[in-house]
Amino acid sequence: MAERPLYQRIAEELRLKIETGELSPGSLVPPESQLTVDYKASRNTIREAVRWLKDLGLVDTQPGRGTTVISKPVPFEITLTPDSETGFGGGEGAAYIAEVQAQNRVARAGSPKVEIHKAKGRIAEELGLAVDAEVISRHQQRYIDDTPWSLQTSYYPVDFVARGATRLLSADDIEEGTVRYIEGALGIKQASYTDRITVRAPDVNEVAFFDLPANGSVPVFQTYRTARDTEARPFRLTVSVFAADRNEFLLNVDLTDMP
């Protein structure tokens, strides 16, 4: 195997110092003149190494100040398995609020953006709808401690409104949660859900919202949660986007009842 270029080896060593705290958030990376001596490398090689760290979103360089280690968000732990009391998990509903509060943090969400449009591709497939059937989408930007944390869009068949769930069209929060509201309005009870998790580069809107490196070096997790009723019929699809630099996923498995 060919040896990696020197700038990558230097960048890896500096990255390890950042991750272990030897170079703490807000501290200055040693100047080029010192790094050239420490690593017996040219200035161009050092600049390539620093550029690599910048692409990873680990440092920022400002004229006259030097290169500073960026303060990273404290990761939020999202439990994908259902909460025993609410039945919810994975960063939604009452379980999401409870998890944020349990970690002594503050959750906030923007006003919902509500739209009606045609179901395409995965949306139609997950909800068991014909292609181009109409769906309602409710989209929110969510924050923890005023830091942009996730983007969440839930989709519902549009005929839920005609059947009595008219508040789905309101651009206001449904305080009790849409799952409980739909159960009360339509008698549809959530009995199960399936999560599918993908990883991809962020799009331009996600780069702007999460303030991520524009080159896609920090990916996003995208979860597809399909909720089903007591007859195993899908009635809601929630698509959530989480920046990988500030989220961790937990799965709790209880083996006590297994043979």
Query: pLDDT tens digit string along 98-112?
Result: 778 888 888 888 899
pLDDT exceeding 90 applies to what percent of the chain?
58
Cβ within 8 Å of residue 201, ≥6 positions away: 216, 219, 220
Position with higher pLDDT, 172 vs 88: 172
Q: Give all strands (DSSP E) within the chain, no chain letters.
A: 59-62, 66-69, 76-79, 107-109, 113-118, 134-144, 147-157, 192-200, 220-228, 234-243, 247-250
Radius of gyration from C-alpha coordinates of the chain = 23
Average pLDDT on 213-239 reads: 92
Query: pLDDT tens digit string along 2-33?
Result: 678 899 999 999 999 998 989 998 899 999 99
| pLDDT for position 253 | 79
Query: pLDDT tens digit string along 109-120?
Result: 889 999 999 999
Q: What H or E segment, with its residue span, contains residue 26?
A: none
| pLDDT for position 1 | 52
Cα–Cα distance for residue pair 228/123, rounded to 1 Å: 14
